[in-house]
């Protein structure tokens, strides 16, 4: 399980004063980037040293409650399954230990030309 905390800023909200719906996906993206860094890699290193990029193939999400300006949110990321060229993870967002957004995301490993490729073994081991 990987955790990432963030604060909701004015730029994250819509005219109704709540977090704009698409920004929850930005929050999960930030958490995934930090998860990769916690595993010991940077996105630039994956690109340059492994000819590997992780792209979103599928997102299934549900909005349970709205976050508001200055809320402190926690994104919990849990890897569910690792396959040859993809991995699936559950990413949920919490406010005050209560889930407000849940998602299931499938990430695919591609080379820098956009073609699917096997996840490098040392990275796959860390994802497992």
Distance CA(116)–CA(125), nearest Å, equals 18
State yes or no: is 49 an active-site residue. no
C-alpha span between 20 and 12 (Å, rounded): 6
Torsion sign (Cα): 93, 96, 99, 100: negative
Please check whether residue 28 is in contact with residue 62, taking contact to mean a CB–CB distance below 8 angstroms.
no
Structure-block tokens of residue 22: 């698409």
From edge to edge, which strands make up the β-sheet containing 86-95?
2-7, 72-82, 86-95, 98-110, 53-63
Instruction: Give me the catalytic one of 14, 38, 48, 49.
Output: 14
Would you name the residues annotated as active-site residues?
14
């Amino acid at each position: 399980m990987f955790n990432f905390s963030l604060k909701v800023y004015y730029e994250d909200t819509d005219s109704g004063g709540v977090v704009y719906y698409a920004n929850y996906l930005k929050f999960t993206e930030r958490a995934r980037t930090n998860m990769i860094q916690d595993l010991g890699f940077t996105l630039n290193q994956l690109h340059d040293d492994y000819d590997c990029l992780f792209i979103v193939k599928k997102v299934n999400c549900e909005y349970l409650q709205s976050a508001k300006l200055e809320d402190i949110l926690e994104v919990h990321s849990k890897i569910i399954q690792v396959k040859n060229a993809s991995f699936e993870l559950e990413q949920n967002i919490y406010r005050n230990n209560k889930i407000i957004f849940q998602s299931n995301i499938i990430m695919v490993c591609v080379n820098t030309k956009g073609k699917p490729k096997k996840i490098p073994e040392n990275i796959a081991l860390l994802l497992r």
